[in-house]
Structure 1
């Protein structure tokens, strides 16, 4: 099924506007609330014989997509279309965080970010090198986790004191037990096979207070994908994500000792709730030195992640400056204490 939102004024295709939070018509400027958009202006077409081939209601062009795509544009007329049969049933997202950063704002923020790289080549920050910037909703699973930790440790407190000419060391030993109930809310893991997990992790945090119940109009004008991995397949990744935080919390409850040696540490985690969620990401493809560099921007907060190229010349200059500064400081200290420094 292909879904398109037609402007009640002029019949043009409407798309979601990140600034107003409404469906917006690029032709006449009309804006409509998603909740009250007229049903008669939602065009749906479904051909049961078509599996992965769709047709644009505007120009009739064939829309061929990858199996994971749920929202895209017509390659011929540019109209935003939603592939609704890939957004229903088990594939229906529960939540969505809409884009709050427009494409123009994203471009400006990215250009500003490139200028903050002290070790990037000079040419990297000059000129308009953005090859492509794509706004897309990436599928995530958000997990509410309940956990229990059962911990046993042998701890010591060491005290030294002097009596006369004798130094005494006194060591007290303690059996330490901790039984902890833990909970973590909205722990994210991206569920798209083609997205780089490390890149997606670094886009965090999102403001989950802005989560909304999923509605298809939020996707109009953007790309979107359905999940490749279900929540069971990604749970081990979530466990590996939260265990360091659990370890840190356990450590914070056993303080004031000279040494702590764990004799038992059992951590159990369970899923309480899982939410299939679409999160906004601007993907930025940047040309430099005959190579394409890929960056990602959080479509809600504007946070940019990626690895810019490093200038060898700037690195050498940076280390040279540090060495020169260190030499000057050491020389000054030497003269201050009356020594001679060569």
Structure 2
């Protein structure tokens, strides 16, 4: 499947433009120019590119059908690099990438058009240099990480990716009925008395829950994608293709309907907990009944920035490191170098043995 592409060009020198997280502007790495977001528009170009590809497919559909390999349509897409003309194969969820040959950023506009056009995006605020510093600081705090994690080629694997998420705002009305008891114990003479009073309680409330965030990409490790939450959605912007230039991006392959049951369950549980938290001063509380009624839901398809590193350990296990591209929050399960653990244990044991020998020599 041939894919429409968009490339952002510098008006001054024709070089590739990338989005710079530090300045929040588009930057040309060739002549050093920078441009405000409103000065460079890729939306019209993206729409036209997608339209051209659709027309091309209609005109040559029979020829394309003959060229497709059985099963390949579900696994990969083909795009032509707008900078060097090379044809590159990538998977179906890729929306922004780099040309393997000329290394220029390429935006696959059709991947994020129509029903897959994101409602909003939170741009990267942490650039690559800051991300590397965060990564090294995170790794240095771990005593037994393999030396390979400190090597330059490992740091170069640090990748900025926009992952797709569904973000839901919900409003509900909730009510519950409960019984609470208060116990009083006292002693009179030689006898102990216990008094239990039972109270009936009712609670009602209007609850607004904001920014319930669920990742929407099947191939992404769930902990990798959700371990960097939350984000500050007050900084969310209307989606523009230009934000993706210089980064990788994925489009969703998990639809809203697949997540609704999970989100509804979370909303109900959270509402119930909030109502229960208003009950105080009882020795015990028993919930008799509850009723939670949804009023309004708003879902937004959102791209969020994540810096990632993957590492294959000696045991063959894949380890993941991810960092929130907005605030720097990190998540990661790092491998352990058994040799370092053994040497550290041997060193501690040797020191302990020397101390015991010295104590024995002076005491006895």
Q: Does structure 2 retain, via aligned residues, the 8 Å contact 1:284–1:295?
A: yes
Match of 1:275 among 295, 300, 306: 300
Q: C-alpha separation between the residues in 2 aligned to 1:149 and 1:294?
A: 40
What's 2:212 paired with?
A: 187
Q: Does structure 1 residue 33 correspond to structure 2 residue 36?
A: yes
Q: Does structure 2 retain, via aligned residues, the 8 Å contact 1:143–1:271?
A: no
What's 2:158 paired with?
A: 133
Q: Does structure 1 residue 15 correspond to structure 2 residue 21?
A: no
CA shift, 1:229, in A, is 1.6
Q: Does structure 2 retain, via aligned residues, the 8 Å contact 1:159–1:169?
A: yes
Relative to its length, the structure with more helix (as a share) is: 2
- How many residues are paired up? 318
Secondary structure of 1:248's partner? Answer: helix
Question: Structure 2: 5+ residue runs without aligned partners?
Answer: 58-63, 65-76, 353-364
Secondary structure of 1:107's partner? Answer: helix
Q: Does structure 1 residue 114 correspond to structure 2 residue 139?
A: yes
Q: Does structure 2 retain, via aligned residues, the 8 Å contact 1:131–1:287?
A: no
Match of 1:89 among 109, 114, 122: 114
Q: Does structure 2 retain, via aligned residues, the 8 Å contact 1:131–1:286?
A: no
Question: Structure 1: 5+ residue runs without aligned partners?
Answer: 325-342
Q: C-alpha separation between the residues in 2 aligned to 1:91 and 1:121?
A: 40
CA shift, 1:41, in A, is 11
TM-score by length of 1: 0.84
Q: Does structure 1 residue 47 correspond to structure 2 residue 53?
A: yes
What's 2:71 paired with?
A: none
Distance of aligned partners of 1:186 and 1:38 in 2 relative to their CA distance in 1, 3 Å threshold: closer
Distance of aligned partners of 1:210 and 1:10 in 2 relative to their CA distance in 1, 3 Å threshold: same
Q: Deviations over 1:102-158 (max 9, x none)?
A: 11211110110112235x346476544436111111111110111232211121000
What's 1:329 paired with?
A: none
What's 1:293 paired with?
A: 319
148-157 or 303-312: which moved more?
303-312
Q: C-alpha separation between the residues in 1 aligned to 2:314 and 2:288?
A: 55
9-18 or 289-298: which moved more?
289-298
Distance of aligned partners of 1:148 and 1:39 in 2 relative to their CA distance in 1, 3 Å threshold: closer
Q: Deviations over 1:244-282 (max 9, x none)?
A: 433432221111111111121333445521111100011
Which structure 2 residues correspond to residues 74-223 of structure 1 after superposition, within 5 A? 74-117=99-142, 120-121=144-145, 123=147, 126-128=150-152, 129-130=154-155, 132-223=157-248
What's 1:65 paired with?
A: 90
Q: C-alpha separation between the residues in 2 aligned to 1:39 and 1:168?
A: 80
Q: Does structure 2 retain, via aligned residues, the 8 Å contact 1:284–1:297?
A: no
Q: C-alpha separation between the residues in 1 aligned to 2:43 and 2:300?
A: 31
Distance of aligned partners of 1:197 and 1:182 in 2 relative to their CA distance in 1, 3 Å threshold: same
Q: C-alpha separation between the residues in 2 aligned to 1:140 and 1:207?
A: 14
Secondary structure of 2:310's partner? Answer: strand
Note the aligned Cα RMSD (angstroms): 2.8
CA shift, 1:17, in A, is 0.8
Distance of aligned partners of 1:258 and 1:281 in 2 relative to their CA distance in 1, 3 Å threshold: same
TM-score by length of 2: 0.79
Distance of aligned partners of 1:270 and 1:137 in 2 relative to their CA distance in 1, 3 Å threshold: farther
Q: C-alpha separation between the residues in 1 aligned to 2:85 and 2:160?
A: 25
What's 1:309 paired with?
A: 335
Q: C-alpha separation between the residues in 2 aligned to 1:78 and 1:124?
A: 25
Secondary structure of 1:76's partner? Answer: coil
Q: Does structure 1 retain, via aligned residues, the 8 Å contact 2:146–2:336?
A: no
Match of 2:286 among 261, 266, 285: 261
Relative to its length, the structure with more strand (as a share) is: 1
